[in-house]
């Protein structure tokens, strides 16, 4: 029985390429999940920060006083 080492090498290369593609797919999903969590944590920290709490308080006061001085603009555009 003769072993065709060229075919064995080709199959090994194909198997390595498939394994690399699967690993790339898995890492891509993990990276997107991590990026999503990082974005949510950043927005949460920004929204609950001291400056935003002051802006929300001022906006609520201006709405309650019916003055609408533009404080609500800072609250509605908090991601800038």
The per-residue pLDDT for range 5-63, each reduced to its tens digit, is 999 999 999 999 999 999 999 999 999 999 999 999 998 998 899 988 888 888 888 88
pTM for the full predicted model: 0.58
Domain ranges of the chain: 1-38, 48-80
User: Which CA distances in Å does 14 have to 6, 10, 62?
Assistant: 12, 6, 67
Residue spans of beta strands (DSSP E) within the chain: none
49 is written with which tokens? Answer: 């920060």
Summarised one tens digit per residue, pLDDT across range 28-44 is 999 999 999 999 999 89
């Amino acid at each position: 029985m003769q072993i065709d080492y060229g075919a064995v090498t080709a199959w090994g290369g194909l198997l390595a390429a498939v394994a690399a593609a699967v690993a790339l797919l898995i890492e891509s999903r993990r990276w997107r999940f991590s990026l999503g969590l990082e974005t949510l944590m950043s927005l949460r920290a920004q929204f609950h920060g001291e400056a935003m709490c002051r802006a929300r308080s001022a906006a609520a006061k201006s709405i309650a006083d019916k003055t609408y001085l533009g404080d609500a603009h800072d609250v509605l555009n908090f991601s800038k």
